[in-house]
Amino acid sequence: MSNEQQPVKMWSGRFREPLDAEFEQWQRSIVFDWLLLEQEVAASKAHASALLSAGILSECETTELRAALDAIGADQASDAGKAVVRNHPSAEDIHHFVELSLVERIGSVGLKLHTGRSRNEQIATDLRLYVRGQIEFVIQSLAAWARALVEKARAAGDAVMPSYTHLQRAEPVLVAHWLLAYVEMLLRDAGRLRDCAARLNYCPLGSGAVAGATLALDRTIAARELGFTAPTANSIDATSDRDFILEYLQALTVVGLHLSRFAEEITLFATAEFGFVTLPEAFSTGSSAMPQKKNPDLTELIRAKVGRIHGAAEAVTLQLKGLPLAYNKDMQETQEPAFSVEFVAPMLALIARFTAALQFNRERMSAAAESGYLNAMAAATYLVHKGVPFRTAHEKIGNAVRFAIEKGAELGELSLDELRQFGEEFAEDFYASVTITATLDCHDVIGGTAREQVRKALADASARIDALVALAQEAVHAGA
């Protein structure tokens, strides 16, 4: 160990009075930014490489520093090690902890690592690495849920259900078509997160405290080692930018909204009033008072979680509002909201397993889809093919529906004479045009619920999910 002493604080030279003890504990971020140890180790190793290139560190010192950093990361990988970091008695933050640990291991060489570097750029880099990694976890989890939805859709085959507008039965659709609607949402979610990852993927190292490093560092060295696209273009922006945290949380809010919509529909469909789905017992709970109950706790909790995600995004919005350039201590408060949403990827994994275990009550769904005049649109289309203007056809079928309601019959149960009181265009071929299969297949457009279109959509969705997974794997390898 060198005779040189590590300062009590990383900034203590200018001060003569000690910090107020309560304030000192209150302002420390190690209690939450210990989560960034892996990122701090990686960024510090990359900075050592840049210092070697600049001639500040020797080959021997660089090797010693990088080995010590690896050892610090390995030692703190266990739960016990994480507790050591989190409960360190004197470290202000994760940067201070790593520096103290380095000096303890290798002496004054550890003090050299901060040459040409500021904590402002360190935290900006660590957070980008952290958010980038979390995005990949979430994208992989989105892909897993999308796969579960596709497999459930494929297994549903030609099973039908009502679609809804205004929560009123509208038209029959394939169950697969309904499930694929959520796949589209998840693929958009993944795209938003991928865009966020691309925008944040620039390396702040070398930005210094605000004006740039005071050494002639080759910033591309650290950027390349950490898997960034390039160095950031402006040191003021690099050290004060937290857009990527806000964008990440906003993108997760949309993920949460889609989870919540699915959870709401399943919660409704599982009621006795709907009876469309049977809840998997492995993901349900009972009542302590009512022996007959099976409660949709998973979907109810998922429905509620979007509030936590959105709350995190709102917190960061208000933290950044009106901040002058560049770094301000306020930015420390953006970290906990970013860390608070780590539950999203595991929650997506849960909903994927839940989806795979979900059972549809096909007969109940089919009965609901084949009653209540859900073929009225197909009936109006029949008249259009007979040359009737759509507005006129709409009126005629509306009158026929009112007549059928009063009679207590479905459209296809009305006699030809009864139908012809609403228009001479009705003929025997009308009955074939309002069957459930004809009603489905008249929506024979890209994105429609016609059976052949849905088969094509299933194949397309599978291919897009495969491509998403491949991109995620490439991103993980690039950042490793």
**Per the structure block, which two tokens stand in for 87?**
């409960």
For the domain covering 120-165+174-365, report its CATH number. 1.20.200.10
Task: Report angle CA 120, 122, 124 to the nearest 5 degrees.
Answer: 70
What string of pLDDT tens digits covers the 480 residues of the chain? 344 455 556 655 566 677 777 877 777 999 999 999 999 999 999 999 999 999 999 999 999 999 999 999 999 889 999 999 999 998 999 999 999 999 999 999 999 999 999 999 999 999 999 999 999 999 999 999 999 999 999 999 999 999 999 999 999 999 999 999 999 999 999 999 999 999 999 999 999 999 999 999 999 999 999 999 999 999 999 999 999 999 999 999 999 999 999 999 999 999 999 999 999 999 999 989 998 999 999 999 999 999 999 999 999 999 999 999 999 999 999 999 999 999 999 999 999 999 999 999 999 999 999 999 999 999 999 999 999 999 999 999 999 999 999 999 999 999 999 999 999 999 999 999 999 999 999 999 999 999 999 999 999 999 999 999 988 777 766 655
Q: How far apart are CA 417 and CA 310, in angstroms?
A: 58
Q: Which residues in 79-109 are b (16+ Cβ under 10 Å) and which e?
A: eeeeeebbebeebbbbbbbbbbbbbebbeeb
Q: How far apart are CA 2 and CA 19, in angstroms?
A: 27
- Give the count of alpha carbons within 13 A of 332, CB side only: 16
**Residue limits of CATH 1.10.275.10 in the chain:** 12-115
Q: pLDDT at position 271, please?
A: 97
**Per the structure block, which two tokens stand in for 359?**
């059972």
Q: How far apart are CA 246 and CA 249, in angstroms?
A: 5
Instruction: Give the number of residues written for the chain.
Output: 480
Asked whether 277 and 266 are in contact (CB, 8 A), the reply is yes
Q: How far apart are CA 274 and CA 268, in angstroms?
A: 7
Match 């080692």 to its residue by tokens. 225
Q: How far apart are CA 326 and CA 212, in angstroms?
A: 12
Look at residues 35, 30, 148 and name the one whose alpha carbon lies nearest to residue 90. 30
Which CATH architecture best describes the domain 369-456?
Orthogonal Bundle (1.10)
**Per the structure block, which two tokens stand in for 363?**
């007969």
Contacts of 424 (CB under 8 A, 6+ apart): none
Q: pLDDT at position 1, please?
A: 39
DSSP letter string, 125-136: HHHHHHHHHHHH
Asked whether 186 and 258 are in contact (CB, 8 A), the reply is yes
CB atoms closer than 10 angstroms to residue 302 = 23
Asked whether 356 and 148 are in contact (CB, 8 A), the reply is yes
Q: pLDDT at position 111, please?
A: 95
Asked whether 150 and 103 are in contact (CB, 8 A), the reply is no
Cis, peptide link before residue 326, omega less than 30° from 0: yes
- Adjacent-strand bridge partners of 174: 160
Look at residues 405, 412, 403 and name the one whose alpha carbon lies nearest to residue 378. 412
Q: How far apart are CA 476 and CA 347, in angstroms?
A: 21
Q: Which helix (H) or strand (E) element contains residue 436?
A: helix 436-441
Q: pLDDT at position 23, please?
A: 73
| Structural fold of domain 12-115 | Fumarase C; Chain B, domain 1 (1.10.275)
Contacts of 77 (CB under 8 A, 6+ apart): none
**Residues noted as catalytic:** 166, 287
**Residue limits of CATH 1.10.40.30 in the chain:** 369-456
Q: pLDDT at position 3, please?
A: 41
